[in-house]
Amino acid sequence: MEMNASAGTGKYRVTLHVLSTGGHGLSCFLYGGTQPHVGGLALVSPGTALKENAQPLSSCDEWTLTLPGHKDFSVANAIAKKLCLATKEPVSISAGIHIDNASKEEIQTLFDNCIEAADLFLKQYGKE
C-alpha cells in the first residue's frame, strides 16, 4: 500500500511518500523545498522493548548515512524514529529537502512541516 502526506505551502511544502510492506516495515521518501533530492538516509528498527513485547515501545535502534555537505539525515532520522515508535515497524527514509540559503527560521518551518506530514501519515495509517 502506498500513501502520501504533505504539509506546508510553496517552497515550504514537504511530502512524505510511504510504501508499506503490510506490517513488516515502511519504506519512505521525504522530499520538498525548491529542490527535492536524495541527501540523507535513516534506518530505524524497534528496540528491545518491542522484541520482548513490553509496552510502550520507547527505544529504537538507529542508523544514518549522508551525502557530503547534506544534513537531510537529521530530519530523516527524527521522522523515521517517530514512525517506528508509533507503528512498531522498521522504517527506512530517504530524505532530500532544500531551499537555497535557508535561514534558521526557514529550516525550522521545514522541520515542523515534516513532523506535520508524519502526523498526517500516521492518522491515515491508523496509528495516530
- Per residue in 40-81, pLDDT tens? 999 999 986 555 555 556 689 999 999 999 999 999 999 999
Q: Which residue range forms the structural domain that includes residue 26?
A: 2-125
**Predicted TM-score (pTM) of this structure:** 0.91
Give the list of residues 6+ apart from residue 118 with CB closer than 8 angstroms, or none.
5, 16, 79, 82, 83
**Distance (Å, whole) CA 107 – CA 30:** 15
Top pLDDT among 27 and 54 is at: 27
Cell of 11: 517552497
List the one residue out of 88, 87, 93, 90 whose CA is nearest residue 64: 93
For residue 27, give the CATH number of its domain. 3.30.230.100
Number of domains in the chain: 1
Contact indicator for 19, 2 with CB cutoff of 8 Å: yes
Given a cut of 60, whether residue 102 has pLDDT beyond it is yes
